Amino acid sequence: MDQEGRWAKERFNEVIESGHWLGNYVNSLLEEHETNGISFEKAGQLLATEKREFEKDLAIARRMLRVYGKLVTAEARAEPPAGQES
C-alpha cells in the first residue's frame, strides 16, 4: 500500500472509531451487509436513523446553549487562550 493509501486508511479508521455519525453509519451498513445483505432501501433506513439521532442531539445542544450559553461565553471571556497569559 502506498503512502496515500495508508493515510486514507488511517483517516477512515479514525472516523469509524470517533463516534462521528458517518462512522456509526458505515458500521451499521457493514453489520447489515454481513447479516442480511444490503439494499438501497435498507441503506436509506439506516441513514434516516442516523439523521433522527443527529436531530435529537442537535435539539439537546440548542437547549443547553439557550440555558447555559451566557455562562459559557462569560467563562470563555474570563480565561485566556491555552498557552497564553493575560
Residue 84: inside a domain: no
Nearest Cα neighbor of 24 from 2, 7, 47 is 47
Question: If you ran DSSP here, which 8-state letter would residue 80 be given?
Answer: P
Q: Tell whether 7 is covered by a domain.
A: yes
What local confidence, expressed as pLDDT, does residue 14 receive? 86
For 20-33, what is each residue's pLDDT tens digit?
Answer: 888 888 888 989 99
Total length of the chain: 86
For 43-72, the pLDDT digits (tens) are 999 999 999 999 999 999 999 999 988 887
- Asked whether the whole model's pTM tops 0.85, one would answer no
Domains held by the chain: number: 1
Cβ atoms within 10 Å of 15's Cβ, excluding its own: 15
**Is residue 85 a part of any domain in this protein?**
no
Residue 30: domain span: 3-78
End-to-end Cα, the chain, rounded Å: 48
Contact predicate 53/47, CB 8 Å? no
Query: What whole-number distance in Å separates Cα of residue 82 and Cα of residue 84?
Result: 6
